[in-house]
């Protein structure tokens, strides 16, 4: 296949991944604000989309990590990156259908690693960088966000125990608007950069950019727009899971969870750790739930999520590897991969229409999973 | 394989310090603002309305400074 054509195909596919990343991760910033009523659903996704766009322009540290760190860019081709993106997109769509907040980042890394292993062998994957820049933060960041949110929630309830209820509720509700906006901004600084990194890697492997180059402006702008548009579309299924199925979130908890997420994501982005914002936000919501009372957290849901987190990287790697194997047979193989991917994506979308979750019914949870009785922490 | 423990340590400490501090400061600010409400309701507050307002202003200014510092670090 003509190199220019495949580069264009990869860039378009990367922007499609960015779009799925956006709607998959709207919940990270806005789930608790929507659940507590601090923001109307539609208002929430407009704010989140706009701030993701702004965030995309604030930093390129994570983009550099991806474009020059995880795989040997001298041993892979744009076709390999295309195959990796196919694995990531399909995993994102499947987990969205199931309402599971899996990591878009790990889907991306998994797809890329699987495709690279098949196309160029184990020597082309920088496993050291995978461990230090991806796996280690993946283990530490949700736990850290959970601990910060737990401590913050505990303090918030203790400190305001004797304060006026109305003032506290209104104050934390206003605070949630700010903290949710900060998470959306932080998400833009971290996740939009992953697509920037992938497109930059493609341009490097095609010889358009020199090795170790940063992303050009048009790459930053297009990645920012794609993730903003995806965020605006709202992944309502995952918003429902994080906002309503983990725990019954109150405004102090929502504020604490979002503040914890922001602190962890911004600190990590600044130092170039490509962490999963989904895992951070989810860890923070569990921490905030436990900070009020351990029994208010639905630990069964936590188990489902933990399982999804464990299989995300290998599952996307398997799909990416299969796509790379098929694409390696030539142009016909690449076209078949694209056609199959589109067919599966359309099938998943059609399946989602059977029980649609929208801005109107996002806060309606089935009666089968009643919330435990609310027990505030005594002063 | 080199693990950047120093950078990870900074992330852990900064997240703990800033995350917990912001929420605690907002909570104290709300306690301060509650003093004004308690006066309106005729209830007895731990702080006078003036002191409560001053506490709230100081706490919210500190929160604004922390958030501004975080943004400045990212942009710079």
Residues of A in contact with B5 (CB under 8 A): none
Chain B CB contacts of A164 under 8 Å are 33-34, 37-38, 41, 43
For residue A275, is it within any domain? no
Identify whether A363 is part of a domain.
Answer: no
Task: Name the closest residue on chain A to residue B31, using Cα atoms.
Answer: A163
Q: Of B2, B26, B46, which has the smallest distance from its Cβ to A171's Cβ?
A: B26
CB-CB under 8 Å, B11 with A151: no
**Quick check: is A41 in a domain?**
yes
Q: Is the CB of residue A341 less than 8 Å away from at least one CB of chain B?
A: no
Domain ranges of chain B: 22-75
pLDDT of residue A379: 40
Nearest CA of chain B to the CA of A176: how many Å? Answer: 11
Contacts of B10 in chain A (CB under 8 A): 267, 271
Q: Is there a domain that residue A280 lies in?
A: no
What's the pLDDT score for residue A276?
A: 85
Inspect the interface and report whether the beta carbons of A269 and B74 lie closer than 8 Å.
yes
**Is A179 inside any structural domain?**
no
Window 346-375 of A: residues touching B by CB (8 A cutoff) are: none
- According to the model, what pLDDT value does residue A67 have? 58
Q: Is the pLDDT of residue A63 over 70?
A: no
pLDDT (tens digit, 9 = 90+) per residue, A332-372? 999 999 999 999 999 999 999 998 888 888 888 765 444 45
Confidence of residue A68 (pLDDT cuts 50, 70, 90): low
* B11, pLDDT greater than 80: yes
Q: Is the pLDDT of residue A244 over 90?
A: no
Could you say which of B1, B38, B74 has the minimum Cβ distance to residue A128? B1
- Whether A37 has a pLDDT exceeding 60, the answer reads yes
pLDDT of residue B30: 95
Looking at chain A, which residue has its C-alpha nearest residue B1?
A128
Residue of chain A minimizing CA distance to B38: A164
- Per-residue pLDDT reduced to its tens digit, A178-193: 999 988 988 887 788 8
- Residue A197 binned pLDDT confidence (cut-offs 50, 70, 90): confident
Pairwise CB contact (< 8 Å): B14 & A269: no
Mean pLDDT of chain A: 87
Evaluate whether ipTM surpasses 0.85. Answer: yes
- pLDDT band for position A27 (50/70/90)? confident
Q: Is A379 on the interface with B (CB under 8 A)?
A: no
Inside any domain, residue A252: no
Could you say which residues from 50 to 109 on chain A have a Cβ atom under 8 Å away from some Cβ of chain B?
58-59
pLDDT at A217: 92
Q: What is the pLDDT, as a whole number, of residue A342? A: 95
For residue A234, being part of any structural domain is answered with yes
Using the Cβ of A182 and the Cβ atoms of chain B, whether some distance falls under 8 Å is answered with yes
More confident residue, A272 or A339: A339
Q: What distance in Å separates the CA atoms of residue A35 and residue A58, rounded to the nearest whole number?
A: 29
Closest of A62, A11, A275, A28 to residue A189, by C-alpha = A62
pLDDT in tens, A4-17: 888 999 999 999 99
Domain that holds residue A60: 3-140+188-247+309-352
Contacts of B73 in chain A (CB under 8 A): 266, 270
Q: Could you give the number of structural domains in chain A? A: 1
Q: Is the pLDDT of residue A80 over 50?
A: yes
């Amino acid at each position: 296949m003509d190199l220019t054509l495949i580069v264009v195909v990869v860039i378009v596919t990367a922007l499609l991944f960015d779009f799925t990343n956006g709607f998959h991760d709207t919940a990270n910033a806005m789930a608790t604000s929507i659940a507590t009523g601090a923001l109307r659903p539609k208002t929430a996704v407009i704010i989140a989309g706009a701030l993701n766009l702004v965030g995309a322009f604030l930093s390129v540290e994570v983009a550099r990590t991806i474009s020059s760190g995880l795989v040997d860019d001298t041993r892979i081709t744009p076709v390999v990156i295309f195959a990796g993106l196919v694995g990531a997109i399909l995993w994102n769509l499947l987990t969205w259908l199931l309402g599971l907040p899996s990591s878009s980042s790990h889907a991306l890394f998994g797809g890329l690693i699987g495709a690279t292993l098949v196309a160029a062998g184990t020597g082309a994957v920088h496993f050291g960088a995978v461990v230090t820049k991806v796996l280690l933060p993946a283990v530490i960041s949700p736990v850290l966000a959970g601990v910060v949110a737990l401590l913050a929630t505990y303090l918030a309830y203790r400190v305001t125990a004797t304060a006026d209820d109305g003032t506290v509720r209104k104050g934390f509700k206003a605070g949630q608007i700010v903290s949710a906006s900060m998470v959306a901004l932080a998400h833009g600084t971290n996740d939009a950069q992953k697509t920037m990194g992938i497109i930059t890697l493609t341009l490097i492997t095609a010889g358009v950019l020199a090795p170790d180059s940063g992303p050009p402006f048009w790459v930053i702008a297009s990645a920012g727009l794609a993730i903003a548009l995806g965020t605006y579309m709202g992944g309502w299924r995952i918003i429902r899971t994080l906002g309503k199925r983990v725990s019954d979130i109150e405004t102090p908890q929502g504020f604490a969870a979002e503040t914890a997420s922001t602190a962890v994501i911004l600190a990590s982005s600044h130092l170039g750790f490509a962490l999963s914002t989904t895992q951070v936000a989810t860890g923070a919501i569990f921490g905030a739930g436990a900070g009020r009372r351990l029994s208010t957290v639905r630990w069964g849901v936590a188990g489902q999520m933990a399982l999804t987190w464990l299989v995300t990287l290998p599952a996307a790697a398997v799909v990416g590897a299969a796509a790379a194997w098929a694409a390696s047979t030539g142009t016909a193989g690449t076209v078949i991969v694209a056609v199959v991917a589109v067919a599966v994506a359309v099938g998943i979308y059609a399946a989602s229409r059977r029980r649609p979750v929208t801005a109107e019914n996002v806060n309606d949870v089935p009666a089968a999973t009643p919330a435990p009785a609310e027990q505030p922490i005594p002063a | 394989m080199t693990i950047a423990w120093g950078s990870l340590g900074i992330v852990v400490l900064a997240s703990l310090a800033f995350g917990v501090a912001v929420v605690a400061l907002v909570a104290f600010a709300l306690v301060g603002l509650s003093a004004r409400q308690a006066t309106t309701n005729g209830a007895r507050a731990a702080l006078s309305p003036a002191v409560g307002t001053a506490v709230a202003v100081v706490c919210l200014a500190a929160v604004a400074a922390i958030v501004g510092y975080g943004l400045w670090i990212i942009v710079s």
